[in-house]
Chains A and B, each alone.
Chain A
Amino acid sequence: MLDTDFFRRWMAATAAAVGREADRLTELDAAIGDADHGSNMRRGFAAVDEVLEKEGPTAPGDVLTLAGRQLISTVGGASGPLYGTLLRRTGKALGDAQEVTADQLADALGAGVAAVAQLGGAQAGDKTMLDALLPAVEVLGTSFVEARDAALAGALATVPLRARKGRASYLGERSIGHQDPGAASAALLVGALAEASGTSGGGDA
């Protein structure tokens, strides 16, 4: 069962991963964007760390809705509203349960991903964060490690795609051959789930 502490660890692991990989995200975003994704995400998740420390939420859902709200207030760009909505919607779907199963998290994250798709108007194959999140959500109920690997594979699979959303879409065919920075950061978020649950990574039913 996944409790509040697990969700706090998930957010902390995401913040750490984003901090470590910020330069790489910036490089990816320089190739097909405006080179701000790394610093935006790092700033946003550092603020999430702070607000979770300060407010001390007492339910899994609250951890995510608080984190989402903070991302909206600090990240900026398209990533702020998109990641903010992802976490807020997922958090809402978890309600006020003190503990949730991996299956429940998978369902909730599915709702969060659907909200992102609706907000941004993207679908699979548009070369966005969805290309990492959608495959991850499908296997999340089975295993966090599988979800992590699916997200990573999904992010890498964006390399040959032509961008149809976001700033990369202005580049047309020149966006081909580069990994989408949003998919890369989404893979970090999913990977942090596996990290938060320990090396075995398996979710339980």
Chain B
Amino acid sequence: MLINVPETVVADGLRGMAAAHPELVVDAENRLVVRRDAPVAGKVGLVSGGGSGHEPLHAGFVGPGMLSAACPGEVFTSPVPDQMVRAAVAVDSGAGVLFVVKNYTGDVLNFDMAAELAEDEGVRVARVLVDDDVAVADSTFTAGRRGTGATLFVEKIAGALADEGAPLERVESLARRVNESSRSFGVALGSVTTPAKGTPTFDLPSGELELGIGIHGEPGRERRPMMTSGEIADFAVHAVLEDLRPSGPVLVLVNGMGATPLLELYGFNAEVQRVLAERGVTAARTLVGNYVTSLDMAGCSVTLCQVDEEMVRLWDAPVQTPALRWGR
């Protein structure tokens, strides 16, 4: 690993991010990353956060057109309420704040606590839950579906709407709709090594893969012998379409888990597009790259989001963040 010691990985990352991105305010001590022009008068503030290790999610999405602030926790660990309260206060112009919360017990508990505390400080807080992962079956008897790739769609589209000056209720409502219109499925070709553990979190022999993985290095639902890119696309896209059943065009995110080369991700995208075409589903827009990662995990995920004209327009709207930049 490219680290000094495990204890300083997050602090080191924040310091490096601050140096590379002077357009952001990086508070390494209190662990928050805020857009420099916050609070933006009349606009809803968009705050998210989660464990570190998924970069660029979320700090890489802070900037005009997307997040107002991000709260990084320890590696794979939900951030603490203190961070989100500080962030909410920093980005609230009086128009209120929307918390984008990935559906993990820790994230939900900490963001819920933070929302209460922020309200005590006079900030109006709404929350949207992201729970797009279809791999977790029988979600009634589990902690529910995980928040994965759709987080990017929610943050981009809600961020664009917030930048247009829409009120909190509308931003919350649209964010919810984006989540409900999105489904994801992920696959791991290798395990992940966290700084704290120093060795892979689970044993995945070469020649085998894990289907239905999340982004925190936990084992997936099922292990199988290695499949080709085309076979993986057949399986993953099928799993998503069976659940989403889109009746119109979709946004496509082909996301790398961190260690899979971009060349392979693009090849995988070719297969994803083939399956979509075979199933008569139109890809309105496609994004390929490492966006919702899991440290050094080899693997990928597919997220599809059924969109209407407004959502496509907001997807196309200008954005200026470390990880996504277009339209300006």
Instruction: Using CB atoms and an 8 Å cutoff, list the residues of chain A in contact with chain B.
Output: 26, 30-36, 38-40, 43, 72-82, 119-120, 163-172, 174
Cα separation A82 to B82 with both chains bound (whole Å): 16
Per the CB 8 Å criterion, the residue count for chain B at the interface is 37
Q: Is B68 an interface residue (CB 8 A)?
A: no
Residues of B56-111 at the interface with A, using a CB-CB cut-off of 8 Å, are 73-82, 104-106, 109-110
- Asked if A33 and B80 make an inter-chain contact with CB atoms under 8 angstroms apart, the answer reads no
Cα separation A32 to B73 with both chains bound (whole Å): 20
Q: Is B284 an interface residue (CB 8 A)?
A: no
Cα separation A119 to B197 with both chains bound (whole Å): 29
Binds A, one of B13-21, B217-225, B259-267, B305-313: B217-225
Instruction: Using CB atoms and an 8 Å cutoff, list the residues of chain B in contact with chain A.
Output: 6, 51, 73-82, 104-106, 109-110, 113, 135-138, 141-143, 146, 194, 196-197, 201-202, 214, 216-219, 221
Distance in angstroms from A154 CB to nearest chain B CB is: 20
B residues in contact with A75, CB < 8 Å: 77, 80
- Asked if B202 and A169 make an inter-chain contact with CB atoms under 8 angstroms apart, the answer reads no
Cross-interface CB contact of A166 among B6, B136, B143, B221, cutoff 8 Å = B143
Q: Can you add 9 more A-B contacts, CB < 8 Å, to A36-B76, A76-B79, A167-B104? A: A35-B217, A36-B196, A78-B78, A80-B106, A165-B143, A167-B218, A168-B218, A170-B214, A170-B218
Distance in angstroms from B36 CB to nearest chain A CB is: 26
A residues in contact with B78, CB < 8 Å: 76-78, 80
Cα separation A169 to B82 with both chains bound (whole Å): 28
Residue of B nearest to A164 (CB): B141
B residues in contact with A74, CB < 8 Å: 80
Distance in angstroms from A104 CB to nearest chain B CB is: 28
Distance in angstroms from A120 CB to nearest chain B CB is: 7
A residues in contact with B80, CB < 8 Å: 72-76, 80
Q: Assuming the A-B contacts A39-B196, A72-B113, A81-B113, are A167 and B216 also in contact, with contact meaning beta carbons closer than 8 angstroms in the complex?
A: yes
Cross-interface CB contact of A34 among B82, B109, B136, B216, cutoff 8 Å = B216
Interface of A is mostly: helix
Cα separation A36 to B196 with both chains bound (whole Å): 7
A residues in contact with B201, CB < 8 Å: 30, 34-35
- Asked if B136 and A30 make an inter-chain contact with CB atoms under 8 angstroms apart, the answer reads no
- Asked if A169 and B196 make an inter-chain contact with CB atoms under 8 angstroms apart, the answer reads no
Q: Assuming the A-B contacts A31-B202, A120-B105, are A73 and B218 also in contact, with contact meaning beta carbons closer than 8 angstroms in the complex?
A: no
- Asked if A26 and B221 make an inter-chain contact with CB atoms under 8 angstroms apart, the answer reads no
A residues in contact with B77, CB < 8 Å: 34, 36, 40, 75-77
B residues in contact with A171, CB < 8 Å: 218-219, 221
- Asked if B197 and A35 make an inter-chain contact with CB atoms under 8 angstroms apart, the answer reads yes
**By CB atoms of chain B within 10 A, which of A30, A32, A82, A168 has the most?**
A30
Distance in angstroms from B232 CB to nearest chain A CB is: 20
Q: Assuming the A-B contacts A31-B202, A165-B143, A166-B143, are A172 and B106 also in contact, with contact meaning beta carbons closer than 8 angstroms in the complex?
A: no
Cα separation A32 to B217 with both chains bound (whole Å): 9
Cα separation A72 to B146 with both chains bound (whole Å): 23
A residues in contact with B74, CB < 8 Å: 36, 39-40, 43, 76
B residues in contact with A164, CB < 8 Å: 141-142
Cα separation A90 to B194 with both chains bound (whole Å): 34
Distance in angstroms from A183 CB to nearest chain B CB is: 15
- Asked if B113 and A26 make an inter-chain contact with CB atoms under 8 angstroms apart, the answer reads no
Residue of A nearest to B6 (CB): A39
Distance in angstroms from A158 CB to nearest chain B CB is: 16
Cα separation A164 to B139 with both chains bound (whole Å): 9
A residues in contact with B105, CB < 8 Å: 78, 120, 165-167
Residue of A nearest to B75 (CB): A36
Cα separation A170 to B131 with both chains bound (whole Å): 13
**By CB atoms of chain B within 10 A, which of A34, A74, A79, A174 has the most?**
A34
A residues in contact with B135, CB < 8 Å: 170
**By CB atoms of chain A within 10 A, which of B75, B196, B221 has the most?**
B196
- Asked if B110 and A169 make an inter-chain contact with CB atoms under 8 angstroms apart, the answer reads no
Cα separation A152 to B110 with both chains bound (whole Å): 28
Distance in angstroms from B13 CB to nearest chain A CB is: 16
**7 shortest A-B CB distances, which residue pairs?**
A169-B142, A34-B216, A77-B106, A81-B109, A78-B106, A76-B77, A78-B105
Residue of B nearest to A80 (CB): B80
Distance in angstroms from A21 CB to nearest chain B CB is: 14
Residue of A nearest to B140 (CB): A164
Distance in angstroms from A39 CB to nearest chain B CB is: 4
